[in-house]
Structure 1
């Protein structure tokens, strides 16, 4: 009859795996300190992008520049609607358009900053802005038209950001987290616009 094997109790006085033994503080998956220091000195011109960056940088930069164009087109459309909103119920809706415009500008700034961090160049060229944008610049004639066009644009942005987040996955957690935070605001915008239509 087999005797059960019992685990030997851990030596309470034993030191945890140290960074100096090559196994890392978490038992094997972290690099030792010497290696981290050496790697940090290599390719120093790459700034925040280290050899552990696992995404296709060219593709991520392309996606981010498309997101930047989308945000800038949204800024311009919301700005126009803010100034052009007319009618008895227009004042609070126009104020909301202004808030959304400001938030879209903040998104654009974050995206541009991340593009630079990744060693790219943010594309602000006005000549190709509408071509690169996922959403459209539609003026809208009535207040209801404006709300609908902004809601459509927000729905496009939500779909775009969801797909970008899924594509990036775990390969670039910083960019993914930024996109997820922007996505959450776009979802709030869509909810607010849908509420405006319900009240109309």
Structure 2
């Protein structure tokens, strides 16, 4: 049985590059992504998460109806999870040498989903489900785009994607129950 070892490192070269570009932090010369593009895309995802936080918070406070108490509580949970996503995206943007854009100016335009103000519990669930479905498609495309160029960002996006899919599944169940 033959064994081919394709794993080759020039540790001396790696050490030299690490010392030379020490101020670049986590971004080393082996990073193969387009940093500026990744930062821009992450800032758009950040804006989306912030809009989702605001929408879920609104719906948490204004939900009314016979089934509203439990669902409103879940809206609060979703808002907290979306804020955690925003925090993780912002931290990654900083790791890549960028600046997270938390400016309220243009927030809705930078976001992929809408900030929908609706009146009925059913419509709140529907609008949040639409937003989650948008997020799922955007995160899937981001994962595909980043691929192997930035495994850390890809893993972060995959983790967020999994939570967004859980949210969509819950919302879909609630939508059926509130018809």
- Pair 1:172-2:164 in alignment: no
User: Which has the larger helix fraction?
Assistant: 2
Deviation at 1:30, TM superposition (A): 3.0
CA RMSD of aligned residues (A): 1.6
Q: Secondary structure at the match of 2:15?
A: helix
Deviation at 1:29, TM superposition (A): 3.3
- Pair 1:89-2:67 in alignment: yes
- Pair 1:123-2:101 in alignment: yes
Structure 1 stretches of 4+ with a deviation exceeding 6 A read: none
Bigger CA radius of gyration: 1
TM-score of the aligned structures, taking structure 1 as reference length: 0.86
Q: 1:63 aligned to 27, 38, 41, which one?
A: 41
Deviation at 1:66, TM superposition (A): 0.1
- Pair 1:188-2:150 in alignment: no
- Pair 1:157-2:157 in alignment: no
The alignment of Structure 1 onto Structure 2 pairs a total of residues equal to 178
CA displacement 1:170-197 (0-9 Å, x = unmatched): 0000000000000000000000000001
CA distance in 2, matches of 1:175, 1:168: 8
Matched residue, 1:40: 18
Higher-RCO chain (CA-CA 8 Å, sequence separation at least 6): 2
TM-score of the aligned structures, taking structure 2 as reference length: 0.96
What runs of 5+ residues in structure 2 fail to find an aligned partner?
none
What runs of 5+ residues in structure 1 fail to find an aligned partner?
1-6, 11-25
Q: 1:54 aligned to 15, 22, 32, which one?
A: 32
